[in-house]
Amino acid sequence: MSVQHEISQRDLRNRSGEIMDAVEHGESFTVTRSGSPIAQLVPLCRRHAVSRDQFAAVSANAPLIDPDRFRADLDDALEGEADDPYGR
């Protein structure tokens, strides 16, 4: 886990390019205004697309899912909190 640096709003404005480069390379920052924290700059998780063949190869040994059982599990987990989008 990376160290979270504290920077002022003014510092962010004056060094934005340098700070954003650091964020891109995994560093995180807490931005302050008048000494009070107001925001966090953190790197986004990068997602990588996989081809259909890669997905099929990884999924080949996945267990089969019973759709009725899956729905029942979801209903139990949500305890009726979810609305039926087709029931409107």
Its domain, for residue 35, covers 5-41
Residue 51 lies in a domain: no
Residue 54 lies in a domain: no
Residue 30 lies in a domain: yes
Residue 20 lies in a domain: yes
Residue 60 and residue 67 in contact, taking contact as beta carbons nearer than 8 Å: no
Overall number of domains in the chain: 1
d(CA 70, CA 75): 9
Q: Which two tokens stand for residue 84?
A: 């039926």
* pLDDT band of 17, cuts 50, 70, 90: very high
Residue 10 lies in a domain: yes
pLDDT tens per residue across span 38-52: 999 999 887 778 899
Residue 13 lies in a domain: yes
CATH of the domain at 26: 3.40.1620
